[in-house]
Amino acid sequence: MKIAVIGGGLTGCLVALELAERGHPVAIFDREDALIQRASLANEGKIHLGYVYSADPTMRTAQTLIDDALLFRPLIERWMGAAEFDACLTEPFSYVVPHGSQVSPERILEHFRQVDICLKERQDELNLCYLGQAQLSSFAVAGRCPTTQGLWVETPERAVWPAGIAAVLRTCVASHPRIEVVAGAAVCHARAGRGKWQLVLADPGRAPEGPFDIVVNAAWAERRNIDRGSGFPSSDAWFTRFKFGVLLENAAEAFGGAVPRNATGTLGPYGDSVYYEKDDCLYCSWYPVGMCYTSCEDDTDFLLPAAAEANRLMRETWEGYATLDPAYGVLGALAGRLEARLVGDFIVAAGQTDIVDPASGLHERWVQGPRELGRGYWSVDTGKYTSAPRCAATCADAIAGAA
């Protein structure tokens, strides 16, 4: 089968590799000039176990993410070596539970207990280790935050360095003899005819691409618009956000050799901090500053704030996160003299309100994966970075099984 994959992010690249390995010629279409440049690169890289989803009383989100997290390394290691993967791993995350959390500390700790139980059960049932870590400790209360007096809770959850994963996968795609990359090609929609599919591009001067036997829409922010234009509208309510964080280079020097611990504030509009030793980079987000655009429409025209505002936004991000971790206090006055930049992209998920609403659908992220919307047309809702490898493999298996 000749297959078109729309979107060259993590999911799209993995779908293409999986299908090409099964013998199918694949063409990846991406609007950027290179693969894995947007949401799959501009995030904290956390491989979620569901700790942060304590507002989902059903535990479905945590259960889904635990399975996805256990599969993450085995599926990624089809394309990169164990040593390369290990180099991308971070130290474990702590969670800060500030006063004013949307969920009480007691309920959060009970949720953490349930996550630990589910993780152990699924590791035994699937005979898999989380990110290759054979021995995992349970969560543990490690003290109180000196600024908020909220709880610090240590967990076994880790992140990967997205840029390191991206670099390896770009090389794998570029060297695969059955994969063609069509860069700088924004797809408007797919058009069916005579049992085949053609891709209509945004550039009016370019002829449609095709024909293809199968189309896989693995785009991220534009996925629902492409589905709609291809004849598959959805009445589901979705929420579109644009979030940025700050990526600081030469982080160890900026902090005098002692970088902050990896941590996430829970539960509410807080932020993340994660250090990538591989490239000595530190990612930090602070929701009240970095969540700079929200919409109930599938509107994806927003861009990162102008460069003239960058220093102010970086300083405000670090100052905001310093309310959770005072170690960040040293950065505020240095914003203009540090090697740092804003990184961000869209977050799209089912819901109608932002996470500041405790009842928001964004607190439940367990419905995701590939769906065949029409004969030969697949749409992949990745959901979370954690879920990309499983979603890609599931999609490829379904397509190959139907061939």
In this structure, is residue 383 part of a structural domain?
Answer: yes
Q: Of the candidates 44, 148, 43, which has an alpha carbon nearest to the alpha carbon of residue 96?
A: 148
> Which residue, of 142, 160, 178, is where some domain finishes?
160
Q: What is the CATH number of the domain that holds 199?
A: 3.50.50.60
Q: Per this entry, what is the length of the chain?
A: 403
Phi and psi for 309 in degrees, rounded to 5? -95, -5
Residues 6+ apart with CB under 8 A from 308: none
Among positive and negative, which fits the CA dihedral 9, 220, 274, 242?
A: positive
> Average pLDDT in the 39-54 region?
97
Q: How confident is the model at residue 335, as a pLDDT?
A: 67
In this structure, is residue 53 part of a structural domain?
Answer: no
> Average pLDDT in the 294-301 region?
91
Band (pLDDT 50/70/90 cuts) for residue 59 is very high
Q: Are strands 179-182 and 291-295 parallel, antiparallel or unpaired?
A: unpaired
Q: How many domains does the chain have?
A: 3
Task: Based on the fold, state whether residues 270 and 374 are members of the same structural domain.
Answer: no
In this structure, is residue 47 part of a structural domain?
Answer: no
> Average pLDDT in the 252-280 region?
95
Task: Based on the fold, state whether residues 69 and 151 are members of the same structural domain.
Answer: yes
pLDDT beyond 70 at 104? yes
In this structure, is residue 126 part of a structural domain?
Answer: yes
Q: Structural domain of residue 281, as residue ranges?
A: 238-350
Strand partners, 265: 96
In this structure, is residue 51 part of a structural domain?
Answer: no
Task: Based on the fold, state whether residues 92 and 188 are members of the same structural domain.
Answer: no
Task: Based on the fold, state whether residues 177 and 206 are members of the same structural domain.
Answer: yes
In this structure, is residue 392 part of a structural domain?
Answer: yes
Task: Based on the fold, state whether residues 375 and 346 are members of the same structural domain.
Answer: no
Task: Based on the fold, state whether residues 183 and 325 are members of the same structural domain.
Answer: no
Task: Based on the fold, state whether residues 242 and 256 are members of the same structural domain.
Answer: yes
Band (pLDDT 50/70/90 cuts) for residue 403 is low
Of 118-132, 198-212, 331-345, minimum mean pLDDT range: 331-345
pLDDT beyond 80 at 189? yes
> Which residue, of 160, 192, 209, is where some domain finishes?
160
> Which residue, of 160, 181, 215, is where some domain finishes?
160
> Average pLDDT in the 336-360 region?
93
> Average pLDDT in the 184-202 region?
97
Q: Of the candidates 355, 162, 168, which has an alpha carbon nearest to the alpha carbon of residue 274?
A: 162
Mean pLDDT of the residues in the chain = 95
Task: Based on the fold, state whether residues 144 and 172 are members of the same structural domain.
Answer: no
pLDDT beyond 80 at 333? no
Where are the extended beta strands (E) located within 174-317? 179-182, 187-193, 196-201, 209-212, 214-217, 238-249, 263-265, 271-276, 281-286, 291-295
Task: Based on the fold, state whether residues 264 and 279 are members of the same structural domain.
Answer: yes
In this structure, is residue 361 part of a structural domain?
Answer: no
Compute the distance between CA of residue 38 and CA of residue 128 in angstroms, rounded to an integer. Answer: 30
Burial of 58 (0-12, 13-18, 19+ CB in 10 A): exposed
Task: Based on the fold, state whether residues 126 and 179 are members of the same structural domain.
Answer: no
> Average pLDDT in the 300-304 region?
89
> Average pLDDT in the 11-19 region?
98
pLDDT beyond 80 at 336? no
Compute the distance between CA of residue 12 and CA of residue 145 in angstroms, rounded to an integer. Answer: 40
In this structure, is residue 360 part of a structural domain?
Answer: no
For the ranges 144-153, 331-340, 343-352, the one whose mean pLDDT is highest:
343-352
Q: How confident is the model at residue 308, as a pLDDT?
A: 85
Band (pLDDT 50/70/90 cuts) for residue 124 is very high
Compute the distance between CA of residue 218 and CA of residue 234 in angstroms, rounded to an integer. Answer: 16
Of 51-55, 136-140, 356-360, minimum mean pLDDT range: 356-360
pLDDT beyond 80 at 8? yes
Task: Based on the fold, state whether residues 259 and 308 are members of the same structural domain.
Answer: yes
> Average pLDDT in the 49-57 region?
97
Task: Based on the fold, state whether residues 345 and 257 are members of the same structural domain.
Answer: yes
